[in-house]
Structure 1
Amino acid sequence: MDDFMLKQTPTSDRPLLGITALVVEDSLFACEALRLLCQRSGARLRRADSIEHARKHLGVYRPCVIMIDVGLPDGSGLDLIAMLAAASPRIEVILGISGDLDAEHDVMEAGADGFIAKPIANLAAFQDSILRHLPAHRQPPGPRMVSNETINPDLVAYRDDLHHVSEILNRPKSTAKISYVTQLLDGIARSAQDDALGKAAKSLAALHSTGDDTTGGVTALSDMVEQRIAAGGPL
């Protein structure tokens, strides 16, 4: 942890000043939203895109706050939450992230302090989701300036996510990739407020879960992804 960051004192307009955070999230678009929220709040943010990379970060760096996506490319974020919740010394604040509201129960059962639903965009709600779990000495003095600002991540990150999805969809067929890519796309679609893309991802996930032929669903979803890449954003 940075000694300089530790010496900084939170203020009413930057209530997370002095906080270092690690986000474990594979979506660049979701990470860009969190980067902007942390920047507005005074927190310093680092990112890991998988459980493996998170473990490497945590081997050399101890954040005050860790935010963990439930669906990651190399496993479930719930396992990482459970491991960190049982560790001693414990990270001060452990939060689970998901676009699936039903995941909140599993996140809390795994030992997290709280849950953040995607899309993550409201500044005041983001700050509150962290501040409510921090000890008194990390709280800003006096009344806090509450902002209802909504951040808008750069669509470059959205397109980067879609390029990643396109690459996965065009790999040789595997059962595991459908579960992962539909979950990833659902989160991307929620963050971008792209209802049509989210619906297509859910349809493919439903076909996969019942064991039905997913060939048509994969083709349709791949076409939608390519259309959005070409358009430079949601349609």
Structure 2
Amino acid sequence: MTLPLTDTATPRPATGPRRHCLFGVTILLVEDSRGVSEAVRLFAAESGARLRRADSLASASRHLAIYRPNAVIIDLGLPDGDGLALIRHLAAAATPLRSIIAMSGHDPASWQPAARAAGAVACLEKPIPSLRAFQDTVLSVLPDAADRRIAETAELSLDGRASMRAAFDADLRRAQALLTEAIETADRDMIIYCAQFIGSVGDMIPDPSLTAAARATNGPGPRAHELVARLSDRIARATSAALG
């Protein structure tokens, strides 16, 4: 596999979450978990990035043979092998890919040193703590030229801001559907991921009551049902405002 050379990235300082701060960025996510993949998809959508998913090493190889993503997020536990092997392969290729992010839900001390030694530039812990953490981590591995290009396109016009609000509402509807399904199946991980995403959106809208309800939700139970109710109220208000 031959991959184009990219520059070594310098980590950026933390900033607040911004919609479209990853505009034009393509991310390949190598992850077999549906819940994690859905959370990353939502974070990528809020950030303006294009996300493609591979659920195995074999699928990742097929993706990388066709196109070069701006960043690759690789889970270390994959069904057909070790994510560290893929990181080593990409980092040691004739034209190495340097914008690699390793991801795992285990104790950071047990995997982050090995991931960085293999060639990962940054690490993400599961569950991803916030939209801001996701954005800052991806930005930290991008070459400076790409980072400047993103900053130049991040400002939105008045029409863009209206479109952004509509997109927020659409994403909350999607999150509501996912959260409702997760509650019905008692999928604790998916409930937590949805709550984290909803809390990040609440921070940006802003909607303090929605953010508070999301941050109080840590699994199945009354808090999750309360969050669904808050979402329903938010979506109903947005629909009413749109209808005039």
Q: TM-score higher than 0.5 here?
A: yes
> 5+ unaligned residues in a row in structure 2: which ranges?
1-17, 156-167, 194-218, 222-244
Instruction: Report the CA distance shift for 1:157/1:118 in structure 2 as closer, same or farther (over 3 A).
Output: farther
Of 28, 31, 49, the match for 1:22? 28
Distance change >3 Å, CA 120–CA 85, structure 1 → 2: same
AA at the equivalent of 1:122: S
* 1:117 and 2:125 aligned: yes
Aligned equivalents of 2:123, 2:136: Cα separation in 1: 12
In the alignment, the residues of structure 1 paired with residue 79 and residue 181 of structure 2 have an alpha-carbon distance, to the nearest angstrom, of 18
Matches for 1:4-83 after TM superposition, within 5 Å: 13-83=19-89
**If the length of structure 2 is used for normalisation, what is the TM-score?**
0.56
Give structure 1 stretches of 5+ with no counterpart.
1-11, 163-187, 195-232
Q: Distance in 1 between matches of 2:188 and 2:24?
A: 32
Q: Indicate conservation of the 8 Å contact 2:182/2:188, yes or no.
A: no
- CA shift, 1:192, in A, is 4.5
The CA RMSD over aligned residues, in Å, is 3.2
Percent same amino acid among aligned pairs? 41
| Residues matched between the structures, number | 156
Separation in 1, partners of 2:145, 2:66 = 25
Q: Kindly indicate whether the alpha-carbon contact (under 8 Å) linking 1:64 and 1:92 is maintained by their aligned counterparts in 2.
A: no
SS at match of 1:46: strand
Q: What are the Cα deviations for residues 58-90 of structure 1, in whole angstroms up to 9, with x where unaligned?
A: 111211110000000011000000000111323
Q: Residues 1-235 of structure 1 correspond to what in structure 2 (within 5 A)? A: 13-100=19-106, 101=108, 102-139=110-147, 140-141=150-151, 154-155=178-179, 192-193=191-192, 234=220
Q: Which residue of 1 aligns with 2:7?
A: none
- Which runs of structure 1 show a deviation greater than 6 angstroms over 4 or more consecutive aligned residues? none
Q: 1:23 to 1:158 in 2, by over 3 A?
A: farther
Q: TM-score under structure 1 normalisation?
A: 0.58
8 Å Cα contact 1:17-1:41 kept in structure 2: yes
Distance (whole Å) between structure 1 residues aligned to residue 41 and residue 181 of structure 2: 12
Secondary structure at 1:141 match in 2: helix
Deviation of the 1:112 alpha carbon: 0.6
